[in-house]
């Protein structure tokens, strides 16, 4: 039995079936895909409301795209982007070597004070050294792990005596940089360093986009599993005993299997009643693993008009609502700016009424790309925090101290209950690639548990 038909659960179920095991995939929502979620606009244009980019080294995902004959195209980085700082837009080209860049920009082109840029790059280099010390499989074994885990990212940044500009890129990484959705005071330096060790920005996680949207991958996997996939089937309890598991669904139905793979975001595991109960350290780790706060914004225009001014749509900087915009237009298609409201910005934004929410987003789009940007043909605001089967995005993070206190149990199964979901991956957790890795790893664990035996 596999719980959760996101990418990880879909891959796990497919792999188990390929190994000749009988498998049922149970999904709480009335759709498959989880955080891999497509949407067709009124115009017929297909977009991703969840994840969309394919990384240059996301080999498993690239393999799936090839298997399904789905084409990808490079993200548009030609021309110059804008770094907003102290009320001014600074134009600069993209530096493809992340370590030499200031948040992806060529630092020397930004026109910022040389001493501040030098200080920023020096602090970035100090952080990169820390990242190298973190073992991807076991962050709690890093040199000085306890000290790194007990200090918040913000605390560390303050302690470096660096100025505002130098502190910004590392704070930005926690909010929008892949790990995503948390403020620098909410997690530890060890956690942020670990996210960069396992999912390095310098490997370009936003290298490609998928023609027609990444969510087609979930649709293809779900179609193949058709008869074995049940929607509107939230799992509420998992009981183990007598060599098997019993899963209770929301509708009261009980299903039996030899093992269960749970492929859902970590904090949602707390919503399942386990019997025997999860070991207390597992519960404690989950209680310290909230989801990030994240709203995805897609602004759609007749054409990517910013390109006509030599701009590439990459906007980064501490605007009130949108701290990042990226050109996501397909070649020859309409103009699309993808953007995110992350961390406390998302928390503040979701307190607003609908009209104010739109206004806040449009005001920032105009600040980034001019008045034309405030008049999109379509504006999509997808708030992942209010999705009760996700409760946030991009992924979960852990609070200070959690890795060193509870970390070693992170991937350990609970008897016949095996964990999948992107957060269980050792490489690219939080991304599609991690979801695939974790799904495959869980299938291998089931196989080991059953020794080639009966149904799951
Ligand atoms: C806005 C956004 C942007 C992103 N950008 C990118 C990107 O560009 N590139 C990238 O690689 N990644 C990106 N990601 C991350 C990526 O989407 C996820 O890492 C990946 O899709 C997670 O897959 P999963 O199967 O692990 O989890 P999920 O997709 O969360 O799937 C879990 C499933 O379990 C179901 N479920 C939960 N509880 C229960 C229950 N009790 N019973 C039954 N079912 C249950 C849920 O409904 C869900 O369908 C982004 C995510 C978001 C939201």
422 pocket-lining for ligand 1 (C-beta < 6 Å): yes
Closest Cα to atom 20 of ligand 1: 432
140 is written with which tokens? 């709690």
What tokens appear for 84 in the block? 């907003």
One-character DSSP codes across 320-360: SS-SEEEE-PPTTS-EEEEEEEETHHHHHHTTS-HHHHHHH
Q: Do domains 40-57+292-386 and 97-203 have the same CATH topology?
A: no
Beta-carbon neighbour count of residue 246 at 10 Å? 17
Convert the pLDDT of each residue in 161-194 to its tens digit: 999 999 999 999 999 987 789 999 999 999 999 9
pLDDT of residue 179: 77
For residue 81, give the DSSP letter: E
- CB of 34 closer than 6 A to ligand 1? yes
pLDDT digits (tens, 9 = 90+) for 407-417: 999 999 999 99
User: How far is Cα 170 from Cα 172, in angstroms, rounded to an integer?
Assistant: 5
Q: What separation in Å is there between the alpha carbon of 115 and the centre of ligand 1?
A: 42
Residue 427 structure tokens: 């490489």
Its pTM stands at 0.97
Q: What is the pLDDT of residue 456?
A: 52
Q: Does any ligand 1 atom lie closer than 6 A to the CB of residue 9?
A: yes
State in words which class domain 2-35+215-289+398-450 has: alpha beta
| Spatial CB neighbours of 18, under 8 Å, sequence gap ≥ 6 | none
**Which residue among 37, 58, 394 has the greatest number of ligand 1 atoms within 8 angstroms of its CB, and so is best to mutate?**
394
Q: Look at phi and psi of residue 420 and say left if phi exceeds 0, alpha if psi is from -120 to 50, else beta.
A: beta
The CA-CA-CA angle for residues 273, 277, 281, to 5°, reads 115
Per DSSP, the three-state class of 209 is: strand
52 lines ligand 1 (CB under 6 A): yes
Indicate if ligand 1 lies below 6 Å from the C-beta of 346: no
Using alpha carbons, select from 40, 37, 3, 6 the residue that is nearest to residue 23: 3
Does residue 435 line the site of ligand 1, with CB under 6 A? yes
Per-residue pLDDT of the chain (456 residues), as tens digits, is 999 999 999 999 999 999 999 999 999 999 999 999 999 999 999 999 999 999 999 999 999 999 999 999 999 999 999 999 999 999 999 998 999 999 999 999 999 999 999 999 999 999 999 999 999 999 999 999 999 999 999 999 999 999 999 999 999 999 998 778 999 999 999 999 999 999 999 999 999 999 999 999 999 999 999 899 999 999 999 999 988 999 999 999 999 999 999 999 999 999 999 999 999 999 999 999 999 999 999 999 999 999 999 999 999 999 999 999 999 999 999 999 999 999 999 999 999 999 999 999 999 999 999 999 999 999 999 999 999 999 999 999 999 999 999 999 999 999 999 999 999 999 999 999 999 999 999 999 999 999 864 445
- What is the Å distance from ligand 1's center to 432 Cα? 8
**Atom 26 (ligand 1): residue with closest C-alpha?**
421
430 lines ligand 1 (CB under 6 A): yes
- Name which residue sits closest to atom 7 of ligand 1, judged by CA: 51
Using most ligand atoms within 8 A of CB, pick from 1, 3, 6, 216 the residue to mutate for ligand 1: 6
For residue 36, how far is its CA from the centre of ligand 1 (angstroms)? 6
Is 392 touching ligand 1 by the criterion CB < 6 Å? Answer: no
**Which ligand 1 atom minimizes the distance to the CA of 8?**
25
Q: What is the pLDDT of residue 177?
A: 87
Cα of 173 from ligand 1 centre, angstroms: 20
User: From the CB of 262, is ligand 1 less than 6 Å away?
Assistant: no
**CA–CA distance, 346 with 350 (Å, rounded to integer):** 6
Q: Is 439's C-beta closer than 6 angstroms to any atom of ligand 1?
A: no
Concatenating the DSSP letter of every residue in 134-198 gives: S-TT-GGGSTTHHHHHHSBHHHHHHHTT--HHHHHHHHHHHHHSSS-S--TTTSBHHHHHHHHHH
The atom number, within ligand 1, closest to the CA of 384 reads 53
| 22: three-class secondary structure by DSSP | coil
Rounded-to-integer distance, Cα 432 and Cα 436, Å: 6
Domain boundaries, the chain: 2-35+215-289+398-450, 40-57+292-386, 97-203
What does residue 243 show for φ and ψ, rounded to 5 degrees? Answer: 70, 20
Verify whether ligand 1 is closer than 6 Å to residue 263 (CB atom): yes
Closest ligand 1 atom to 430 CA: 19
> What 8-state DSSP symbol labels residue 33?
B
The matching CATH number, chosen from 2.140.10.10, 1.20.1440.230, 1.10.405.10, 1.10.760.10, for 97-203 is 1.10.405.10
Helices 114-132 and 164-176: angle between axes, nearest 10 degrees = 50
Ligand 1 pocket member 268 (CB < 6 A): yes
Helices 432-450 and 7-18, packing angle to 10 deg: 40
Q: What is the pLDDT of residue 451?
A: 84
How far is ligand 1, taken at its centre, from the CA of residue 263, in Å?
Answer: 9
Taking only Cα atoms into account, the Rg of the chain, rounded to an integer number of angstroms, comes to 22
Centroid of ligand 1 to alpha carbon of 113 (angstroms): 41
CA of 83 to the centre of ligand 1 (A): 30
We find that the CATH architecture of domain 40-57+292-386 is Alpha-Beta Complex (3.90)
- Among 305, 220, 306, which residue's Cα sits nearest to residue 32? 220
């Amino acid at each position: 039995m596999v719980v959760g038909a996101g990418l990880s659960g879909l891959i796990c179920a497919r792999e188990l079936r390929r190994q000749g095991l009988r498998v049922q995939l149970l999904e709480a929502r009335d759709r498959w895909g989880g955080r891999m979620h497509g949407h067709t606009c009124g115009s017929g244009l297909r977009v991703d409301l969840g994840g969309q980019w394919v990384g240059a080294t996301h080999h498993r995902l690239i393999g799936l795209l090839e298997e399904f004959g789905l084409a990808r195209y490079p993200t548009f980085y030609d021309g110059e982007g804008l770094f907003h700082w102290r009320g001014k837009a600074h134009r600069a080209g993209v530096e493809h070597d992340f370590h030499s860049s200031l948040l992806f920009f060529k630092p020397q082109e930004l026109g910022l004070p040389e001493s501040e840029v030098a200080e920023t790059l020096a602090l970035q280099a100090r952080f990169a050294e820390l990242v190298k010390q973190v073992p991807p499989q076991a962050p709690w074994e890093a040199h000085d792990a306890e000290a790194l885990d007990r200090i918040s990212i913000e605390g560390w940044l303050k302690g470096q005596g660096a100025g505002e500009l130098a502190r910004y890129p590392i704070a930005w990484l926690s909010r929008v940089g892949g790990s995503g959705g948390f403020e620098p005071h909410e997690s530890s330096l060890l956690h942020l360093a670990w996210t960069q060790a396992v999912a390095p920005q310098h490997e370009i996680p936003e290298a490609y986009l998928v023609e027609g949207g990444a969510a087609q991958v979930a649709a293809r996997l779900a179609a193949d599993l058709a008869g074995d996939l049940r929607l509107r089937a939230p799992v509420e309890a998992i009981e183990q005993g007598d060599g098997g598991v019993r899963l209770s669904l929301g509708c009261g139905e009980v299903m039996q299997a030899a093992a269960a793979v749970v492929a859902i975001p970590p904090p949602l595991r707390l919503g399942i009643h386990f019997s025997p109960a999860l070991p207390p350290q597992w519960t404690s780790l989950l209680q310290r693993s909230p989801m990030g706060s994240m709203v995805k914004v897609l602004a759609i225009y007749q054409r990517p008009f910013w390109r006509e001014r030599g701009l590439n749509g990459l906007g980064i900087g501490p605007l009130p609502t949108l701290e990042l915009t990226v050109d996501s237009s397909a070649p020859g298609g309409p103009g699309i700016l993808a953007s995110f409201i992350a961390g406390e910005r998302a928390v503040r934004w979701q307190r607003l009424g609908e009209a104010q929410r739109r206004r806040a987003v449009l005001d920032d789009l105009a600040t980034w790309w001019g008045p034309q940007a405030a008049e999109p043909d379509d504006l999509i605001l997808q708030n992942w925090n209010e999705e009760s089967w996700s409760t946030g995005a991009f992924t979960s993070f852990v609070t200070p101290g959690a890795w060193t206190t509870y970390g070693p149990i992170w991937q350990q199964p609970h008897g016949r209950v095996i964990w999948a979901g992107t957060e269980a991956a050792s490489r690219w957790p939080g991304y599609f690639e991690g979801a695939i890795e974790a799904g495959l790893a869980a299938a291998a664990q089931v196989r080991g548990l059953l020794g080639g035996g009966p149904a799951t």
